[in-house]
């Protein structure tokens, strides 16, 4: 049997430097019996620079053929003045859409060694472990009509929020399945008090629950209250299920609760791909951080743990993923810290590549 | 000259009991030279119970004729199963829309005596004083088409996000005017990297700034990053300008940062009404809290400070508003606390009406 294949799209900003550390980890696994066929290409601004488009057709074809995609980050001030259709983000959004990666898993986990980094009180966030399931291929991000139109003598900006029953149902199933492997609780968030699309969302989630997952505890919450509750008492949540736009906002708020954005990975999953593995893309929650790019300051852990999620969710290599997570925890416990993790209580400052090396050593 | 008129719509849940305390405050001002003609009617579930609709035409007509509306809160589990068009929220949304209250001012202010209530570290929130300017009459809340439709053999939920240039421009003007009276800084939030409507938003805000308010400091931020920054370092903001839906989520998150939701008022302002005062509605940020309704546990301060905002923003009675705010601060400094404000560091527990009386005494 051939090795499963990985396509690396390092992207922009700190993407390439954190991805360099992931390559070390991939190489370590290859030396220890878990090998992948790795190829690499451009996405985002880097693809615009190289190919004149944020996602070339050839790159998309490679992504469709790959067993998993590892993405770094996209975007940067250099591309701010590009047309909407050429912006780095369009490359990322096209990948999500074309690969039909409807289930975006965003853990918000507070690492014990780093709990003091949070702007929240230690007792509010210590031990925090939420999983946000954000629907990723529909809603406001992709609904038509969209654009800037002229009406009478002025312009109007329009975007459409749109969900079919089956789109809601498949995201809900992913959330319930995840919950069964965790705390068995799902809280679904929408604005059913204001949006008809939210009423349909709530109804379908409830139906999937009642007919297929009656054993999972389900609650519903308005998204504004959800934002409040995340700030007030985040540990009340296990899995949060929400749509593309609310998920964008709420998962970022949740990530920031942990105080260590540089630590958080994400997975985006779809239906089965060519070799039976789910179509999948893994990326850190943090962005391209152009302000620190190229300075060896970036924290590669989020990107490395994203590879860990690939081991777990694409390739069912849970034990190997556990090993990687243990190595990360060991390095943190040893006090090794990239710039973003250096607080008043100290630690040993190290660079991006030293962090990668330390994790290899811990493995 | 006749007294300016106030229409009180106490609404549901704790609405009536907090509004009873506001009436005491209004009576005190009448005794001290600032009198209003006060009338009262139903809104929300109470209006459904009384009139079969969450906002009767007669009530709307009274609101249109009033110089300011004071609203308590709407909603409750009793009304959860009502049709969308009959839900309590529709009454509130219809008032906002028909009075054309496009500028929703939501202060997120951390009261010094209460800083320890926040789930955030004291140093992150002490002294916090943000004003969120949420556009309130357009966007996702009101855009057409909307509804649940059938397509092929399944249903689809649709809502439309829609902003004209003039809608954006007038909200932006309000934000810049507010900023001039405060820290002179506006941060505008949208998702221009994903939504065309966000591109138009950013462009119009920038244009209004450059042509009419070049003296105000303007920045733009993606709304997801905005949510993060609110959690990470909220004191970086002065005025935040955003749309109806993002404003709903972000203002709730911001309110919760302060740790004392029961303290936060809001104002919704429109163009000039019949007597030259702006059309205006004032309401607490907190909801109807059905779980504690009728038990004398509710904190009336948010609703009382909403009347204070009416003094300031509708009737240009800044000195009288200052007086009311000073009275509230005095009562807090004296350690008087409704149930929601009782923390580990103690205080004197008092009821809703005792809090009202204490504020009158302090006046
Ligand atoms: C970069 C941007 C297009 C993207 C999004 O809005 O989805 C990002 O914020 C995210 O959450 O992955
Ligand atoms: C009650 C509800 C309709 C309302 C809204 O969504 O605007 C509330 O959440 C608010 O923020 O005033």
Beta carbons of B72 and B18 less than 8 angstroms apart: yes
Indicate if A248 belongs to the active site.
Answer: yes
Calpha distance A72→A102 (Å, rounded): 19
- CA pair distance B361, B182, nearest whole angstrom: 30
Task: For residue B191, list chain A residues with Cβ-Cβ distance below 8 A.
Answer: 245, 248
Q: Do A253 and B233 touch (CB under 8 A)?
A: no
- Specify whether A350 is located in the same domain as A280: yes
pLDDT of A344 higher than 80: no
- N-term to C-term CA, chain A: 26
Closest partner CB to A164 (pick from B156, B161, B227) = B156
Task: Please identify among residues 240-279 of chain A the ones whose CB lies closer than 8 Å to any CB of chain B.
Answer: 245-246, 248-253, 255-257, 261
State whether A93 and A159 are in the same domain.
Answer: no
Q: How many domains does chain A have?
A: 2
Q: How confident is the model at residue A345 (pLDDT cuts 50, 70, 90)?
A: confident
- A243 shares a domain with A149: yes
Contacts of A49 (CB under 8 A, 6+ apart): A42
| Same-domain status, A218 and A187 | yes
Tell me the shortest Cα–Cα distance from A43 to chain B, in angstroms.
16
Residue A116 covered by a domain = no
Shortest distance, CA A219 to any CA of chain B (angstroms): 14
Kindly state whether residue B127 falls inside one of the protein's structural domains. no
Query: What is the structure's pLDDT at B344?
Result: 73
DSSP of B243-307: -HHHHHHHHHHHHHHTS-GGG-EEEEEEEE-TTSSEEEEEEESS---GGGTTTT----HHHHHHH
Query: Catalytic residue at A94?
Result: no
Whether A141 maps to a domain, the answer reads: yes
Task: Say whether both A356 and A236 belong to one domain.
Answer: no
Task: Quick: pLDDT tens for A32-53.
Answer: 999 999 999 999 999 999 999 9
Q: Is B223's Cβ below 8 Å from some Cβ in A? A: yes
- B contact test, residue of A90, A157, A194, A235 with most B CBs within 10 A: A157
- Mean pLDDT score across all residues of chain A: 96
pLDDT for residue A112: 85
CB-CB contact of A88 with A54 (8 Å): yes
pLDDT at B52: 97
Does A156 share its domain with A251? yes
Question: Is A208 within 8 Å of chain B by CB?
Answer: no
Question: Which of A160, A231, A252 lies closest to B158 in CB terms?
Answer: A160
Mean of pLDDT values over A329-333: 94
CB count in 10 Å sphere of residue A142: 18
Estimate the crossing angle of helix B15-31 against helix B301-309, to 10 degrees.
50
- To the question of whether residue A154 is assigned a binding role by annotation, the answer is no
Whether A343 has a pLDDT exceeding 90, the answer reads no
Check CB contact of A360 with chain B, cutoff 8 Å. Answer: no
Chain A touched by B201 (CB under 8 Å): yes
User: Residue B230: its chain A contacts at CB < 8 A?
Assistant: 253
B47-104 per-position pLDDT tens digit: 999 999 999 999 999 999 999 999 999 999 999 889 999 999 999 999 999 999 999 9
CA nearest to B156 within chain A: A164
Q: Pick the last residue of a domain from A257, A278, A303.
A: A257
Q: What is the distance between the alpha carbons of residues A327 and A356, in angstroms, rounded to a whole number?
A: 11
pLDDT tens digits, B189-218: 999 999 999 999 999 999 999 999 999 999
Q: Would the CB atoms of A195 and B140 count as touching at under 8 Å?
A: yes
Structure tokens at B264: 């936060």
A260 pLDDT higher than 90: no
Could you tell me the CATH number of the domain that includes residue A269? 3.40.718.10
Which residues line the pocket of ligand 1, CB cutoff 6 A? A 89, 92-93, 248; B 193-194, 224
Residues A1 and A77 in one domain: yes
**Residue A112 covered by a domain:** no
**Domain end (from A195, A227, A257):** A257
Q: Within a domain: residue A246?
A: yes
Q: Give the residue ranges of chain B where pLDDT is below 70.
A: none
B257 is in an annotated binding site: no
Residue B260: its pLDDT value, please?
A: 84
Catalytic (active site) residue A100: no
Task: Work out the end-to-end distance of chain B between its first and last CA atoms, rounded to an integer number of angstroms.
Answer: 26
Last residue in a domain, options A222, A257, A292: A257
Do A136 and A244 lie in one domain? The reply is yes
Mean per-residue pLDDT over chain B, rounded: 96
Please, is A206 exposed, middle or buried when counting C-beta atoms within 10 Å of its C-beta (0-12, 13-18, 19+)?
middle
Q: B188 lies in a domain?
A: no
Percentage of chain A with pLDDT > 70?
A: 100
What's phi and psi for A25, nearest 5 deg?
-65, -40
Is the same domain home to A70 and A148?
Answer: no
Question: Does residue A249 sit in the same domain as residue A269?
Answer: no
**Residue A302 covered by a domain:** yes
The range of the structural domain enclosing residue B329 comes to 1-110+261-363
State the DSSP H helix or E strand holding residue A158, giving kind and residue range, or none if neither.
strand A154-164
* Alpha-carbon distances of A54 from A14, A50, A89, A293, rounded to whole Å: 17, 9, 8, 19
* Residues 112-151 of chain B whose Cβ lies under 8 A from any Cβ of chain A: 119-121, 124, 140-141, 143, 146-148, 151
Q: How confident is the model at residue A113 (pLDDT cuts 50, 70, 90)?
A: confident
- Predicted confidence (pLDDT) per residue in A346-357, tens digit: 899 999 999 999
CA distances from B131 to B99, B110, B172, B174, B313 (A): 22, 12, 13, 11, 14
Cα(B245) to ligand 2 centroid in Å equals: 9
Name every protein residue with a CB atom under 6 angstroms from any ligand 2 atom.
A 193-194, 224; B 89, 92-93, 248
Nearest Cα residue in chain B from A286: B225
3-class secondary structure, A223 = helix
Q: Which pLDDT band holds residue A80 (cuts at 50, 70, 90)?
A: confident
Question: Residue B160: its chain A contacts at CB < 8 A?
Answer: 158-161
Q: Would residue B71 count as lying in a domain?
A: yes
For ligand 2, atom 2, the nearest C-alpha belongs to B89
């Amino acid at each position: 049997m051939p090795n499963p294949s990985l396509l690396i799209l390092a992207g922009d900003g700190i993407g390439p430097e954190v991805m360099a550390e992931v390559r070390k980890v991939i190489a370590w696994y290859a030396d220890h019996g878990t090998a992948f066929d790795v190829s690499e290409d451009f996405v985002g601004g880097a693809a615009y620079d190289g190919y004149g488009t944020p996602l070339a057709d050839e790159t998309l074809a490679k992504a469709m053929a790959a067993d998993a995609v590892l993405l770094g980050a996209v975007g940067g001030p250099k591309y701010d003045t590009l047309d909407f259709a050429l912006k780095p983000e369009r490359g990322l959004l096209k990948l999500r859409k074309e690969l039909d990666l409807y289930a975006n898993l965003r853990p918000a986990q507070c690492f014990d060694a780093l709990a003091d980094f949070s702007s929240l009180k230690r007792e509010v966030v210590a031990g925090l472990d939420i999983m946000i399931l954000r629907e990723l291929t529909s809603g406001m991000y992709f609904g038509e009509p969209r654009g800037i139109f002229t009406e009478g003598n002025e312009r109007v900006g329009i975007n459409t929020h749109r969900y079919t029953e089956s789109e809601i149902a498949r995201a809900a199933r992913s959330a319930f399945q995840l919950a069964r492997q965790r705390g068995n609780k799902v809280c679904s968030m929408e604005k059913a008090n204001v949006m008809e699309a939210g009423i349909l969302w709530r109804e379908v989630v409830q139906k999937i629950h009642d007919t297929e997952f009656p054993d999972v505890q389900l609650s519903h919450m308005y998204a504004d209250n959800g934002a409040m509750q995340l700030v007030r008492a985040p540990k009340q949540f296990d899995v949060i299920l929400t749509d593309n736009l609310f998920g964008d906002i709420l998962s970022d708020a949740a990530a920031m609760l942990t105080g260590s954005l540089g630590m958080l990975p994400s997975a985006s999953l779809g239906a089965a791909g060519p070799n039976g593995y789910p179509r999948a893309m893994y990326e850190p929650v943090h962005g391209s951080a152009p302000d620190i790019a190229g300075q060896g300051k970036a924290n590669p852990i989020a990107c490395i743990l994203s590879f860990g999620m690939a081991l777990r969710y694409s390739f069912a290599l849970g034990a190997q993923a556990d090993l990687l997570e243990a190595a990360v925890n060991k390095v943190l416990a040893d006090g090794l810290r990239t710039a973003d993790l250096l607080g008043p209580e100290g630690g040993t400052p190290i660079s991006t590549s030293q962090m990668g090396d330390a994790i290899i050593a811990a493995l």
